[in-house]
Structure 1
Amino acid sequence: MDFYGTFHFPCGEATVTLQDISIIWGLTIDGEAVTRIDVSHKVEEWQHICLDLFGFLPSSKHLKGGHLSMIALYDHCMYNLVTDDTSEVDVVKFARCVALMIIGRIMLPDYQEGSARLIFLQLLRDIDNVKSYSWGSAVLAFLYRELCNVSRIEKTTMAGPLYILQVSLTYGHGAGLNVLAPTEGELTLGVPPVDPDAIIPVSPYGAQ
């Protein structure tokens, strides 16, 4: 990708790149596109799909317009923790729950706060194939779209992966990006300073 759009903030002109997405979150930026048909199911149908892929039948009050409440996912995970005795099938179902929470809450959150879009279940059905998708490209495209939308005068809210924007502004990986992080002497919250000589961090910056 040779061209990146830039956005004007009070701090100046800035942008987030695919490299930022890869370094900060460790997401893949190569592979199949994250795209699927937005199917419409009745509540009962979504319930049985969740039972098949997650291992539990969510209450109808936790399902709305193709979205599943984060509370339902969180409660299921907390009461069905993975142990040494957990079967491989149940481990996969647990992994799908966690993955959907990460996608719906952090990577690709929309305006339905506190819930995740069940359309992503199409991409999580084959858990071994999840890594073949270009999740980083989807995250960046979603962020760019939301930054463009929020520039309109009638817009008052914004969805999308705002945490990636916050981390990018903090560490300043993007081209022409203003670094807003405090200097080493100003750190007061116990956050370790970034090693300027490190080409790639040991773990994604966003995980620190």
Structure 2
Amino acid sequence: MASLINKKLSHICDTVNNTDSYRILRGRVNGVGYSPDARLMPYLELAGFGSAALTRTFDLRYDLISALVERWRPETHTFHLPCGECTVTLEDVALQFGLPIDEDAVTGVSAIDEPAALCYSLLGSSPGDAESTFSELKFTWLKANFQHLSDNATEEQLVCAARAYIMHIIGGVLMPNSNNNKVHIQYLPLLTDLRSVRSYSWGSAVLAMLYPMMYQKKRLTRQQI
């Protein structure tokens, strides 16, 4: 293990038990911020996001997370851990979020030609007019438009709200970006038919996003306390 750790930087595990202060990452907990309407659960289950929709925020041990991040090696895109320690695996993602892991890769077009038309088609509303060009949806907009549903909401409105909640889960919990308050619209076309959403390996996509994000945090958000 000694050869796998950069000797120019003292590893956090060398000082974590000392009385001196040690490096630790800033903690940031993401979440949707509201629970889905009970009427949306059948549609979320249909799409394979029923368990992920029940994810809630919780307290984290940032010192332990810092130690794990320090074990990430960009050369091999994995964690290098001594025998007896454990790492995050695809099975962990499947068990904790209930996401499919054996299906097709999550892929698509990153640039949408008519984002407003796409939003009107799949969400029933759009944050911009027909002439607007945008690539992300704000969580504040999703929450304002889809948190509260009328008592006589139609099935089409419920399906649109379910898509909006899945978008919020993807950008707010599963695959957050540096903005931390928006989700890229590239995921929306994958939610066109809720019955086919579970045909994608969302668990693999979450794990693939987790590793680079942890390495980025190691480089950009390390601080001394």
* Interval containing the TM-score (normalised by the shorter chain): 0.5 to 0.7
Give the aligned partner of residue 199 of structure 2. 132
CA distance in 1, matches of 2:150, 2:93: 29
Give the aligned partner of residue 36 of structure 1. 108
Is 2:87 the counterpart of 1:20? no
Query: Alignment partner of 1:132: what SS?
Result: coil
Q: Percent identity?
A: 34
What is the CA-CA distance between 1:18 and the residue it aligns to? 0.9
CA distance in 2, matches of 1:157, 1:65: 28
RMSD: 2.7
Query: Alignment partner of 1:68: what SS?
Result: strand
Q: How does 1:45-194 map to 2 (within 5 A)?
A: 45-59=114-128, 65-79=134-148, 81=149, 83=151, 85-151=152-218, 155-157=219-221
Query: Alignment partner of 2:220: what SS?
Result: coil
Q: 1:82 to 1:34 in 2, by over 3 A?
A: farther
Q: Any conservation in 2 of the 1:82–1:91 contact (CA below 8 Å)? A: no
Q: Any conservation in 2 of the 1:69–1:115 contact (CA below 8 Å)? A: yes
CA distance in 2, matches of 1:116, 1:64: 15
Q: Any conservation in 1 of the 2:90–2:204 contact (CA below 8 Å)? A: yes
Q: Which structure has the larger Rg over C-alpha atoms?
A: 2
Give the TM-score of the pair, scaled to structure 2: 0.56
What is the CA-CA distance between 1:13 and the residue it aligns to? 5.6
Unaligned ranges ≥5, structure 1: 159-208
What is the CA-CA distance between 1:57 and the residue it aligns to? 2.5
Q: 1:77 to 1:4 in 2, by over 3 A?
A: same
CA distance in 1, matches of 2:200, 2:184: 17
Query: Alignment partner of 1:98: what SS?
Result: helix
**Per-residue CA shift, 1:73-113, capped at 9, x if unaligned?**
1011124x164x32222221111111100011111111122
Q: Any conservation in 2 of the 1:68–1:118 contact (CA below 8 Å)? A: yes
Give the TM-score of the pair, scaled to structure 1: 0.61
Query: Across the two proteins, how many residue pairs are aligned to each other?
Result: 143
Is 2:82 the counterpart of 1:6? no
**Per-residue CA shift, 1:42-82, capped at 9, x if unaligned?**
xxx3222211111113147xx88511111111011124x16
